Amino acid sequence: MKVELVTTLKRQASKILADLHTSKEPVLITEHGKPSAYLVEVDDYEFMQQRIVILEGVACGEQAIKNGHLFSNQEAKEKMSKWLK
């Protein structure tokens, strides 16, 4: 992963963005020697957001199972039919 100082980002934003688009590699921006932000391409960011939504849905389903909130196949079909009308 590429690492850049925030001052370098301020001075060379266009070059850093061009390199990002070419390499497709995220850039870690540091301030005072500490990680501050990641610079990623828009498509990669949107893909990560979609994955988060899916993982949150899976986590909710796992929690429902732990809590015993289950439906039979028939009950699930009946509930789904209301949404699919």
Q: How many CB atoms lie within 10 A of CB 56?
A: 10
pLDDT at position 80 is: 85
Whether residue 52 sits in one domain with residue 26: no
CATH, residue 32: 3.40.1620.10
On the question of pLDDT at 83 being above 80, the answer is no
Q: 64 lies in which domain range?
A: 43-83
Same domain, 36 and 65: no
* Range 2-17 average pLDDT: 97
Instruction: Looking at the structure, tell me whether residues 30 and 50 fall in a common domain.
Output: no
Q: What is the pLDDT of residues 33-77, one digit of tens each?
A: 999 999 999 999 999 999 999 999 999 999 999 999 998 999 888
Query: Do both 47 and 79 map to the same domain?
Result: yes
Domain count, the chain: 2
Which uninterrupted H or E stretch holds 11? helix 6-11
In a shared domain, residues 36 and 7: yes
